[in-house]
Structure 1
Amino acid sequence: MAPIADSRQQFDEIPTVVGIFSAFGLVFSVSLFAWICCQRKSSKSNKTPPYKFVHVLKGVDIYPENLNSKKKFGADDKSEAKNKSAMPKNSLHLDLEKRDLNGNFPKTTTKTQGSPDLENSSPKHFAERKKDSVSPDSLKSITSLSSEDKQDKLGTLFFSLEYNFEKKAFVVNIKEARGLPAMDEQSMTSDPYIKMTILPEKKHKVKTRVLRKTLDPAFDETFTFYGIPYSQIQDLTLHFMILSFDRFSRDDVIGEVLIPLAGIELSEGRLLMDREIIKRNVRKSSGRGELLVSLCYQSTTNTLTVVVLKARHLPKSDVSGLSDPYVKVNLYHAKKRISKKKTHVKKCTPNAVFNELFVFDIPCEGLDDISIEFLVLDSDRGSRNEVIGRLTLGSSAEGTGGEHWKEICEYPRRQIAKWHMLCDG
């Protein structure tokens, strides 16, 4: 009986030993998992961001109508207290509770300061770029303009340029704009924002946020573009488009600023600049270009085959001198659009070759109530695509459009191609 009792005692100790080892294993696993998570988090924070640019907001509310003055984006309470103590009385500061009925900020008596960065800038840059820098005389001349001159003036844009040699990054800071015209006739104010494009390749397109109901917007937004060698800076051009947001229609274009970077030296640090906003340069041409299309009507299947072949002599709708055209095809029945197609975008060319075929089913017998519309547009990822030219083919169309339509009706099952002049969109 003694051996049996000893074996039972040994079996009773096994669950206790297994529980102890399980507890130690659980604690070790949790500790290892926490350590791995911390290592991954630290490694992610040290990596270079994979995107092309970094957008930074500094101390300005994103939506001034929804946030109070205490809620700042990208700044904590301690930094705000330091900035308030170090900020002089005549510097620019957005106090949302001091706006008037239209939402505009009251103008201070002295306008010799544009932003805090302008105060802390070294006098060396001002000596080198007198025509580009901010001077009290230039600001006084702006404030002393008559009402007639202010109507002709579109305002001034303030910005800074910098090149980070460690990260090989080009940095553009859009500081503010002053003296913008009122695009809303009812409230006599604007909702401005700025689109910026690096030309000529147009790979980098960015835009600021919209500031509501102000003619002197203070954006203070920084855009950092990685992967641009310093040797290529001289070949680039900055294009700023100043617009006013419109909720119910296309945004109003206030003006533009074009900055060729040739001859601008950024090796000595940040460069502060200002430029007068000019009217948008609408490049007119003798025509809107031509479009080659081929049509074939199949009476047996009651289908219309449309081939968009080529476009040539398209106008320069972009400031870079080149367009990114594509064609949108709309089919109408009794003046109601029943189908739509579009071609691929052809990059940077005034003479595009598409060679794309579309087949439309006709809902009625014959082509009497059918018309087809071709819209040639310039692709723009940052805003709405601009219409370069328009072409309409149908029984009621005039000129070559009506003649082409008459031929495909008289000769079904025959593919007929013609060049057509585009009209204004």
Structure 2
Amino acid sequence: MAEITNLRPPYDVSPVVAGLVGATVLVVSVSVSVFVWTCCRRRASKKQQTPPYKFIHMLKGVSIYPEPLGRGAGQRKAERAGPEPPAPDYGPGPTSPESGTPESGESEEPGPSPGSPSPSPPAPLGTLSVAVDYNFLKKALVVTIQEARGLPATDPQTQAADPYVKMTVLPDRRHRVKTRVLRRTRNPVFDETFTFYGLPASQLQDLALHFLVLSFDRFSRDDVIGEVVLPLAGLDPAAAKVQLTRDISQRSFQKCVGRGELQVSLSYQPAAQRMTVVVLKARHLPKMDITGLSGNPYVKVNVYYDRKRVAKKKTHVKKCTLNPVFNESFVYDVPAELLADVSIEFLVLDFDRATKNQAVGRAILGAHSGTAAGADHWRRVCSCPREPVAMWHSLSEY
């Protein structure tokens, strides 16, 4: 009789254990799939986001940024296909004879009469050559400061200069960059590239480049040779690199007859012997920027006792406005017997990250007030305690 073979498995698996193993495998596979999907989504969203606004410095064609800034394939084909398009027309420069209208804020003066001697032309300050390019893939503005020619001598002994260039992107002035100093030359060759990332092409029409040419001085303040303002309104982002050469003009500060007004509120508490000063707002401030754009005003509040400053505070900076609203209060301890010798100075300044802050004007209230409005405001505050008194004051020259 034939032997019957046992076809049963060598061991039995419980259905409960098999279910637990299957559920564990399912949970692990789902978790891995969700993790991979999340990583892919994050990577895709990072590619679509606008990169932060920053700049990269290149010296002599060597980049300190690990990733090279290259053109797209479409731009390279367009460059190989035809010659480089002509440079956009930025209009005449500040010292160009083609500019027939005066700068903003300057009054047009009549020309000299035939019998009077003609005024001597300003001394030439040289030229500055730069290159401007835009990269669509990186959303980056690439500015190369190439060279300067014919700079004036700032050292009478060596008849040379130690030039360098500061550059700022207007009107935000979020970055200030500068080249290295080249010693004893009037024709410096910088060849330094600055790359500003995170600038969409739609914003280029509202920007301008400000170049300030200086000469380094070891023992005193650096000498300012001149400046060049280059608006980007005519720049075509799709075009290739644009080479530009502009005359360096004298650095000019816009002068304005009216310096605006400042509204402040004062109140005195006799019981606590405290003076509350509230800087409310300002209006009709002059455009202190050389490009005619709005300024960045703020107010410094100085308290003087017998012409000696005993306290100082300042408000926050209001960006790009000529009619700022501050609404900031400051409290000072002022004894009642010293009110006759106390004065408060409100100094309005224009914040500038690239250069020194410019004083717009000031108003003085109290013992040393030079205006009738300032004296009247102080008299009303002292005669009406615990009552806030707000008034507008015209700013005078600092």
Same fold (TM over 0.5): yes
Alignment match of 1:407 (pick from 362, 380, 384): 380
**C-alpha separation in 1, matches of 2:336 and 2:181:** 48
The aligned counterpart of 1:56 is 58
Correspondence for 1:361: 333
What residue number does 1:328 align with?
Answer: 300
**Cα-to-partner distance string for 1:143-176 (whole Å, 9 max, x where unaligned):** xxxxx98961121111111222332311001122
Aligned residue type for 2:306: A
Once the 2 structures are TM-superposed, how far is the Cα of residue 338 of structure 1 from its aligned partner? 1.6
Distance in 2, matches of 1:247 and 1:300, equals 55
Greater relative contact order: 1 or 2 (C-alpha under 8 angstroms, separation 6 or more)?
Answer: 2
Question: Displacement of 1:261 after TM fit?
Answer: 2.4
Give the corresponding residue for 2:86: 128
Aligned mates of 2:295, 2:337 — CA distance in 1? 39
* Shift, 1:277, TM fit: 1.0
Secondary structure at the aligned position of 1:56 is classed as: strand
In structure 1, which of residues 155, 165, 168 is the aligned counterpart of residue 136 of structure 2? 165
The one-letter amino acid paired with 1:276 is D
Q: 1:300 to 1:185 in 2, by over 3 A?
A: farther
CA 1:382–1:216: 2 relative to 1, 3 Å = same
Shift of the alpha carbon at 1:214? 4.4
Distance in 1 separating the partners of 2:189 and 2:310? 46
Cα separation, partners in 2 of 1:348 and 1:189, compared to 1, 3 Å: same
Q: Judging changes above 3 Å, is the alpha-carbon distance between structure 1 residues 379 and 251 closer, same or farther for their aligned structure 2 residues?
A: farther
Matches of 2:298 and 2:219 in 1, distance apart?
26
- Tell me: CA distance 1:362–1:212, structure 2 relative to 1, closer, same or farther (3 Å): farther
The alignment status of 1:423 with 2:381, answered yes or no, reads no
Name the CA shift for 1:248/1:419 in 2 (closer, same or farther; >3 Å): farther
Displacement after TM superposition at 1:315 (Å) = 0.3
Over residues 245-283 of structure 1, what are the superposed CA-to-partner deviations in whole Å (9 max), with x where a residue is unaligned? 567776554322122223334544322211001123432
**Equivalence for 2:166:** 195
**Cα distance change of structure 1 residues 360 and 227 upon mapping to structure 2, 3 Å threshold:** same
Is 2:160 aligned against 1:178? no
C-alpha change, 1:185 and 1:299, in structure 2 (3 Å) is: farther
1:392 and 2:369 matched: no
Match of 1:278 in 2: 249
Q: Against the structure 1 CA distance between its residues 322 and 250, is the aligned structure 2 distance closer, same or farther, given a 3 Å change threshold?
A: farther
- Distance (whole Å) between structure 2 residues aligned to residue 256 and residue 202 of structure 1: 16
**Which residue of 2 is the match for residue 208 of structure 1?**
179
Following superposition of structure 1 onto structure 2, how do residues 16-95 of structure 1 map, counting pairs within 5 Å? 52-58=54-60
Unaligned runs of 5+ residues in structure 1 are: 1-46, 61-72, 75-122, 133-147
Q: Distance between the aligned counterparts of 2:197 and 2:88, measured in 1?
A: 29
Deviation at 1:421, TM superposition (A): 0.8
Query: Is the contact made by 1:314 and 1:351 (CA closer than 8 Å) also made in structure 2?
Result: yes
- The answer to whether residue 191 in structure 2 is matched with residue 220 in structure 1 is yes
Output the amino acid matched with 1:424.
E
157 and 420 in structure 1: CA distance in 2 versus 1, 3 angstrom threshold: same
Matched, 1:242 2:213: yes
CA distance in structure 1 between the partners assigned to 2:160 and 2:377 by the alignment: 49
Q: Kindly, what percent of the aligned residue pairs are identical?
A: 57
| Aligned counterpart, 1:96 | none
More helix by share: 1
Specify whether residues 201 and 177 from structure 1 end up closer, same or farther in structure 2 by C-alpha distance, changes over 3 A only: same
What letter is aligned with 1:367? L
Letter in 2 for 1:128: P
3-state SS of the aligned residue for 2:337?
coil
Q: Cα distance 1:373–1:262, how it changes in 2: closer, same or farther (>3 A)?
A: same
Q: Aligned AA for 2:334?
A: I
Matching residue's letter, 1:385 = N
Q: Secondary structure at the match of 1:367?
A: helix
TM-score (norm: length of structure 2): 0.66
**CA root-mean-square deviation:** 3.4
Tell me how far 1:316 sits from its aligned partner. 0.4
Change (3 A) 1:405 1:159: same
What is residue 348 of structure 2 aligned with on the other side? 376
Structure 2 equivalent of residue 294 of structure 1 = 265
Change (3 A) 1:373 1:224: same
Q: 2:390 is matched by which residue type in structure 1? A: A
Partner AA of 1:360 in structure 2 = Y
Summarize the Cα distance change of 1:355–1:165 in structure 2 as closer, same or farther, 3 Å threshold: closer
Residue 15 (structure 1) aligns with = none
Count of residues in Structure 1 that have an aligned counterpart in Structure 2: 303
Structure 1 residue matching 2:340: 3-state secondary structure = coil
The one-letter amino acid paired with 2:179 is T
CA distance in 1: counterparts of 2:335 and 2:155, whole angstroms: 45
Contact kept? 1:295, 1:415, Cα under 8 Å = yes
Query: CA 1:169/1:422 → structure 2, altered by over 3 Å: closer, same or farther?
Result: same
What's the CA shift for 1:388? 1.4
- Structure 2: which 5+ runs fail to align? 1-46, 65-81, 91-118
- Corresponding position of 2:280: 309
Q: Give CA-to-partner distance per residue, 1:60-96, whole Å, 9 cap, x none.
A: 9xxxxxxxxxxxx98xxxxxxxxxxxxxxxxxxxxxx
TM-score (norm 1): 0.62
